[in-house]
Amino acid sequence: MNGVTVGSGHGTVVVSGLPSYCETTDSASYANLASGHSLTVNVTVPCAFSMSGAVLWINDQGGFLYGLSAAQLDSTGSPTPTGISTGGYSYAVAFDSHGNMWVGATTAGVVPATAFLYEYTPAQIAGGGANLTPTVSIQLPPVGGSFGGSYQPGSIVFDGNGTL
């Protein structure tokens, strides 16, 4: 909050630290805040996070990812999603603050399997298609023991600084 004088009961809320695909909003003012009480201020932050308009991505763990737009989610019937293929078995999906899709996957048809983290740009995702070539490919360390192979990446997380 900015401009809050203790005991004044009014001030301004400023939103900051937004991802690059969100717009900075105007500040929101509030009044009538009494000492020792709380007040809720609602601020709308428009975000144009659009890979072909998809807002919900579904991972089928068979190497295919399907995206549905907000309009498709609001409608009835059987919408046709945007589809992309990673060429392997996908297990986890996350987006970074630049709209890049990160996918945790293992190689298909290879024993022992090798696990990777792949990055795809918004432009690649918007185009859809099969067996996209990732812009970044990180091979994960193998698992020891009799199983062999690598870990199956079950989740991908970015911290508050956007670090993978």
The pLDDT score that the predictor gives to residue 136 is 93
The pLDDT score that the predictor gives to residue 49 is 52
73 in any annotated domain:
yes
Shared domain check, 21 and 1: yes
164 in any annotated domain:
no
Shared domain check, 134 and 112: yes
Q: What's the CA gap between 65 and 86, in Å, rounded?
A: 8
Mean pLDDT of 68-91: 82
Shared domain check, 41 and 68: no
Mean pLDDT of 64-85: 83
Q: Which residues of 88-119 are buried (b: 16+ CB within 10 A; e: fewer)?
A: bbbbbbbbbeebbbbbbbbbeeeeebebbbbb
Q: Give me the domain span that covers residue 29.
A: 1-48
Q: Write out pLDDT tens, residues 34-44.
A: 777 776 777 77
The pLDDT score that the predictor gives to residue 135 is 92
Instruction: With residue 72 as reference, give the H or E element that holds it.
Output: helix 70-74
156 in any annotated domain:
no
Shared domain check, 60 and 120: yes
